Chain A
Amino acid sequence: MFARVVWLVLRKDLTVEVRSLEIAYTTLFFAVSCVLVFAFALVHEGRAPEDGAAGILWIAIAFAGTLALGRTFERERQSETLRALLLAPAARPAIYVGKLLGIVTLLVAGEMVLVPLVALLFQAPLLARPLWLTAILVTGTVGFASVGTLFAAMLVRARSRDVLLPVLLYPITVPVIIAGVRATAALLQPDVEIDILRFWLALLVCFDIVFVTLALWTFEPLMTD
């Protein structure tokens, strides 16, 4: 039952998104612009700063993610579908997981464009170890999106929700960004130290578990009035 609700919510989100591709295109373009701004700001005499690629990639993901979260729930608010979702005889945590997976799908799709772009612009061997990179990106995105989905959902009926989402989200997701950047930077070293990589990946996984569990626990009291 839980899995069925998750799948229904996810399918609904993906169907709506695929029809217009509004959020996908705008968020992706914003992320690309972000990366370009960093490129213009930081590249000096044709050379990118060391370790720059990892940081810039994750900043672009964080900014684009915030935008995507805001837009997704704005769409829900405008068509009043969030209220309909909450009125439905479905477990609230299942609705949360469905929305989370939708956001993660959107962000991962964006990352598939961002990663080659960053690798190209900053001459970083990001695609050298694709499995590790995928693990880092997926765990980091899930961590960021887990907190983001909860906050964006609970801010839907608040005032100043557009500016409050980043204000609330960034201090909480700093450890995810730190871990993501450190893991990606470790991956970009000429001789990769697997221990360091494993440590940051383990931290990301722990973060994901703890925060998804916390979000499932608090989604109910936070979404009721």
Chain B
Amino acid sequence: MMKCTVVAVFVIWTLGMVGGERPGGPALHWPATAALHAQQPAPQDEFVPIDELPPQDQLPAAPLLVTAYAFVVLALFAYLLSVARRLGGVQRDLERLESDLKRNGRA
């Protein structure tokens, strides 16, 4: 019964949101945010590949690119190390406990 209520509420809510959005639309944007948006580059719809690029555009990007890739590698590696370390600790505890039990005889 509860589950039906939840499902019903979600369905009604989704319909309400979807239905309500269409007439609302642009009227809901603040004048201030519209002005802010006008100052920023337009959202991009497609990527266009070109082979040549003027050299002055390349240099400032390199440190950002390198930092990004380095961060990805470091983060993944650090997490892997963390899991491996914790797993090793638990393994050691398990082995120690099992050998203790074997020595003293299981209760």
Contact = CB atoms under 8 A, between A and B. Distances in A.
B5 interface: yes
B9 A210 contact: yes
Contacts of B27: 193, 195-196
Nearest to B27: A195
B9 A213 contact: yes
A217 B4 CA distance: 11
B17 to A, nearest CB: 7
Given A195-B24, A199-B20, A202-B20, A210 B13 contact: yes
A23 interface: no
Nearest to A203: B17
Interface string B1-23: 01101100110010011001000
- Determine the main DSSP class of A at the interface with B: helix
A206 B10 CA distance: 9
Contact of B2 (A193, A202, A209, A217): A217
Interface in B48-107: none
A92 to B, nearest CB: 11
B36 interface: no
Contacts of A217: 2-3, 6
A199 B16 contact: no
Interface residues on B, range: 10 to 19
Contacts of A216: 2
A214 interface: yes
Contacts of B3: 217
B28 interface: yes
Contacts of B17: 206
A209 B17 CA distance: 14
A99 B20 CA distance: 33
A199 B24 CA distance: 8
16 contacts: A195-B27, A195-B28, A196-B28, A202-B16, A206-B13, A206-B17, A209-B9, A210-B9, A210-B10, A210-B13, A213-B5, A213-B6, A213-B9, A214-B6, A216-B2, A217-B2
Interface of A: 193, 195-196, 199, 202, 206, 209-210, 213-214, 216-217
